[in-house]
Amino acid sequence: MNILDIDKLQALCDELERKNRLLKRISDSYSKALHLMEEQDYEALALELENQNAVFAKLSEPGCSLPVHESELSGIRGKALAYLSRCGSNKRLAAALKKTAENIDLYGRLLRNCKTLCEKLVFHASAKKADAERYISTAKNRRLVNAGYSTQIGPLKGTLVDFKSDR
């Protein structure tokens, strides 16, 4: 990508701004989902996750991708910052370079934030799942123990059974 082409820089900047807005929504959604999980409001959590899936769908729409590969963004940011001091009197190019560098930086921070929040959400969900399974298991065992003590099977209750093998 030619870093001095203002139209290409503007297209990249516009797409980055769109992705940044969507990533901010995802980040807010992750935070809200974590809060709802802690509050044990699972109905609202399900709705929040459905809304989050809709944002993910918008983020991955075909035809709405960056004009460059994401691995090239850090290089473009570095070039933009390097060329910023050489713009001279071309204020429009300087503004486009500065805005592009800021949007690339924000894009990277938002991606890292979303990754961290996603990992936290998965960790809390697995912990809640383990707690629920432990609770269900304890309740089943308690029910079995209480049912066994309340029914009288006969003279064998509480005695050892002597088993002899035929071998």
Rounded CA separation 78/119 (Å): 29
Token pair recorded at residue 39: 């509050």
* CA–centroid distance for 93 within its chain: 36
Token pair recorded at residue 59: 């983020």
Rounded CA separation 134/102 (Å): 48
Q: How many CB atoms lie within 10 A of CB 123?
A: 11
pLDDT in tens, 86-121: 777 788 888 888 898 899 999 999 999 999 999 999
Rounded CA separation 58/26 (Å): 11
Q: What type of residue sits at position 163?
A: F
Burial of 26: CB neighbours in 10 Å, binned 0-12, 13-18, 19+: buried
CB 2 within 8 A of CB 8: yes
pLDDT in tens, 114-166: 999 999 999 999 998 998 899 998 888 888 887 766 555 555 555 555 556 66
Q: What is the pLDDT of residue 165?
A: 63
pLDDT in tens, 51-61: 999 998 888 88
Q: Cβ contacts of residue 12 below 8 Å, gap of 6+?
A: 1, 66, 67, 68, 76, 100
